Structure 1
Amino acid sequence: MLFLMELLESVRSFIATGGNVLYFVAVALFLMWILMIERFWFLASVYPKMRDNIIAKWDARTDTTSWYAHRIRDTWISEATELLDRNMLTIKTLVAMCPLIGLLGTVTGMISVFETMAQQGTGNPRLMAAGISMATIPTMAGMVAALSGVFFSSRLDAKVKLAKAKLIDSLPHH
C-alpha cells in the first residue's frame, strides 16, 4: 500500500512539474493502449474462430468457380477485413497525436516563461526554470508515449496484414 501511495505522489509531482497538458498525454496514451490490447485480443482469440468458420463455409460449398461464388468469397473476405481493420486508424492517429500534445505543453510552458520574464524580469532564474521544465516535460512525455505506441502499432498492423493474406490464401478460387 505504501508503494502505491509513493507511486501516486511521484505521478502527481511529475504532472505538477509538467503542467496540465500531461493529463491529455495520459488520456491519449490510455486510449491508445486500450485499443491496441483489444486488437491483440481480437487477433488471438476471436479472429481464429471467425476465420475457421469462413474457411469451413467455403469448403462446404459445392460451387466455388462461378461468378456468384466469387462474389460470396469476396464478401466474406471484405467482412473479415473490416473487422480486422477496426480501430487501426484510431490507434495510428493517437500515436501521431501524442508528440503533438507534448508540443502543446512546450508552447504553454514557454508562455509561462515569457509571462514570468515580463512580470519579474530576467533576474530570477528559479522562476524561469519552472516554466522551462513545464515546457520540456510534456514534450518528453509525448515522445515516450508515441514511441511506446509506434512499435506495438506497427507490429499489430503487420499481424493484421498477415491475417488478411492468410485468409485470402485459405479460400482458393479456381
Structure 2
Amino acid sequence: MLQYLSPSFIAGAIGDYLEAGGPVVLALLVATFLLWTLIIERLIYFASTQRKLVKAKQDRWASRQDHSSWAAHAVRERLISEQRLSNEQFLAVIRVLILVTPLLGLLGTVTGMIEVFQVITSTGASNARLMASGISKATVPTMTGLAISLSGLFLINILDRRVSRSLAALEDSLDIQVQPKAAPARQEA
C-alpha cells in the first residue's frame, strides 16, 4: 500500500495518464494548476486578509463625523465598492478556467477521434490496438476536463457566497443617518 505513495510511482502514474490522454491533458494539467492556485489564494484571502480590510473600512467610516450628507453616502458607496473589488479579485479568471476546461476536454476528444480515423484509413478497422490508443486520447481529456470543471463549479459557488455575505455584512455595519426633511415654508396670501 505504501508503494502507491512513493514519488516514483506517482510520477509514473502521471506520465502514463499524460501519455494515454495526449497533449491536451498537459494543457488541462496547466489549467488545473492555475485554477487551484487561484482558488486557494481566494480561500486564504477570505480566511485572513478580508477581515482586516473590512475592519479598516469600518474604522474609516466610524472616524467620520458626518454620516448623513450626500458626501457621506458617496464615501460609504466607495468603501463598499473597494471591498467588492478586493473580494472579487481573480473570480473572473476562475470562472473562465471553469468554462475552458470542458472545451479543452472536447478538443482532446476531437484530436483523439482524428487519430482513430487515421488508424482506420491507414491500416483498416482490423488493428484494435492502435485504435484503442486513439480512443483513449479521445475519452481521457473529456473526463479530465469535466472533472476539473465540476470541482471548480463547486468552489466558485462557495466563493460567490462568501463575497455576498461579506458585502452584506459590510453594508450593514456602515450605518447611515437620514436627516429629517425640513417642513416647507407656508406662504400667506
TM-score range (shorter-chain normalised) is over 0.9
The Cα shift of 1:113 comes to 0.2
Q: Which runs of 5+ in 1 are unaligned?
A: none
Structure 2 equivalent of residue 79 of structure 1? 82
Amino acid at match of 2:153: V
TM-score after normalising by structure 2: 0.89
TM-score after normalising by structure 1: 0.97
The Cα shift of 1:161 comes to 1.1
The Cα shift of 1:79 comes to 0.9
Structure 2 equivalent of residue 47 of structure 1? 50
Amino acid at match of 2:29: A
The Cα shift of 1:126 comes to 1.4
The Cα shift of 1:44 comes to 1.2
The Cα shift of 1:61 comes to 1.4
Amino acid at match of 2:127: N
Which aligned segments of 4 or more residues in structure 1 are displaced greater than 4 angstroms? none
**Is residue 159 of structure 1 aligned with residue 162 of structure 2?**
yes
- Structure 1 or 2, whichever has the larger Rg, is 2
Superposed CA deviations along residues 136-155 of structure 1, whole A, max 9, x for unmatched, are 00000111111111111111
Amino acid at match of 1:146: S
The Cα shift of 1:56 comes to 1.3
**Is residue 70 of structure 1 aligned with residue 66 of structure 2?**
no
SS class of match (1:65): coil
The Cα shift of 1:16 comes to 0.4
Q: Which runs of 5+ in 2 are unaligned?
A: 178-189
SS class of match (1:172): coil
Structure with more helix by fraction? 1
Amino acid at match of 2:152: G
**Is residue 124 of structure 1 aligned with residue 127 of structure 2?**
yes
Alignment equivalent of 1:146, drawn from 146, 149, 155: 149
Amino acid at match of 2:69: S
Structure 1 equivalent of residue 31 of structure 2? 28
Q: Distance in 1 between matches of 2:95 and 2:67?
A: 37
**RMSD value over aligned CA atoms?**
1.2
Superposed CA deviations along residues 1-26 of structure 1, whole A, max 9, x for unmatched, are 97100100010011101101001111
SS class of match (2:126): coil
Q: Distance in 1 between matches of 2:103 and 2:43?
A: 26
* Length, aligned pairs only: 174
